[in-house]
Amino acid sequence: MSEENHTRVKEFILLGFPGSQFLQLSLFILFLVMYVLIITGNVAIIFLVRTQTCLQTPMYYFLCNFAFLEIWFTTACVPKTLANLVSQSKSISFTSCLLQMYFVFSFGCTEYFLLAVMAYDRYLAICYPLHYNIIMSSTLSVQLALSSWVGGFLVISVPAGLIARLSFCGPNIINHFFCDIAPWIILSCTDTYLVEMVCFIMFAIVILGSCVITLVSYIYIISTILKIPSSRGRQRAFSTCSSHLIVVTTFFGTLIIVYMVPPVNAPIDLKKIFSVFYTVLIPLVNPLIYSFRNKEVNISLRKSVRKFIVFMRRQKKLLD
């Protein structure tokens, strides 16, 4: 097949959220505010973990990685969505679409792996508290985090390579606000069976694998907590993993909704709405969950705010 026929369509249109100009502007403001809050919240968590001595533990090292991941995950799709909402041209090149798809799903798979690693970390802390510091060493923490990042990017390489070989020679309108795999490859004029099967197997392994690890970890965690004789001890043990449990429940719950709604009967606009939950709303609430539900983060945040206020007062006195 010649190069000319291989990719006849070199540019696509991201349909996004069609509607009136008022709706487009309203969505732009809403997405912009949420994006700024996501960046601010996750940067604040990274800052706290890096500056507060009491947070220099494997648990918060993984949380720091998670916050850093959330920043790049939303950045992979939100800025382009913002640009499309205020622009007449909603076009995106084939290469840019492929790169966006690759990074969105790479960061997504990395998130699955990190959540499983964080669940395993809590399992060791609750079930083997006396051996936790020996097992979960700084070296193992780095290895687990690095493996999550590398694994997330490697696992998407195969479907991305297959999609890069597809030919597009007909309609070029992607009915989504980012280059999602399903609404994109249906535009191909070549057989997509191999891509669909690889994606299905990949997501089944990644999602179900990480979900099983997380679920098994929390089964052991909850059974161990229930065996603690004192109610105060149970409450203290559960408080160390409650934030992560809420994030995991919200994340996988939304994921199940997105991928288990029947594609034939469910309107594509409904899929897009649930994708907003997955790509924007959950990253928005995660810093709030970790700051309000986690006692140590909450205390560290208050200390940092007090130090900042004292610093600003001193600066004001010097200027006066």
Instruction: Report the pLDDT value the prediction gives residue 311, as an integer from 0 to 100.
Output: 66
Residue 174 lies in a domain: yes
Instruction: Report the pLDDT value the prediction gives residue 50, as an integer from 0 to 100.
Output: 87
Which parts of the chain register pLDDT below 70?
1-7, 240, 255-270, 291-293, 308, 311, 316, 319-320
Domain range for 35: 11-293
Residue 319 lies in a domain: no
Residue 313 lies in a domain: no
Instruction: Report the pLDDT value the prediction gives residue 211, as an integer from 0 to 100.
Output: 84
Residue 298 lies in a domain: no
Residue 113 lies in a domain: yes
* DSSP letters spanning 169-191: -S--EESSSS--HHHHHTT-SS-
Instruction: Report the pLDDT value the prediction gives residue 104, as an integer from 0 to 100.
Output: 94
User: Per-residue pLDDT tens for 21-50?
Assistant: 899 999 999 999 999 999 999 998 898 888
Instruction: Report the pLDDT value the prediction gives residue 248, as an integer from 0 to 100.
Output: 79
Residue 311 lies in a domain: no
Instruction: Report the pLDDT value the prediction gives residue 218, as an integer from 0 to 100.
Output: 87
The number of distinct structural domains making up the chain is 1
Residue 268 lies in a domain: yes
Residue 6 lies in a domain: no
User: Per-residue pLDDT tens for 55-109?
Assistant: 888 988 999 999 999 999 999 999 999 999 998 888 999 999 999 999 999 999 9
Catalogue the long-range contacts made by 220-226 (C-beta closer than 8 Å, 24 or more residues apart): 220/123, 220/126, 220/127, 221/122, 221/123, 221/126, 221/127, 224/126, 224/127, 225/126
**What CATH number does residue 201 fall under?**
1.20.1070.10
SS3 state at 83: helix
Instruction: Report the pLDDT value the prediction gives residue 207, as an integer from 0 to 100.
Output: 82
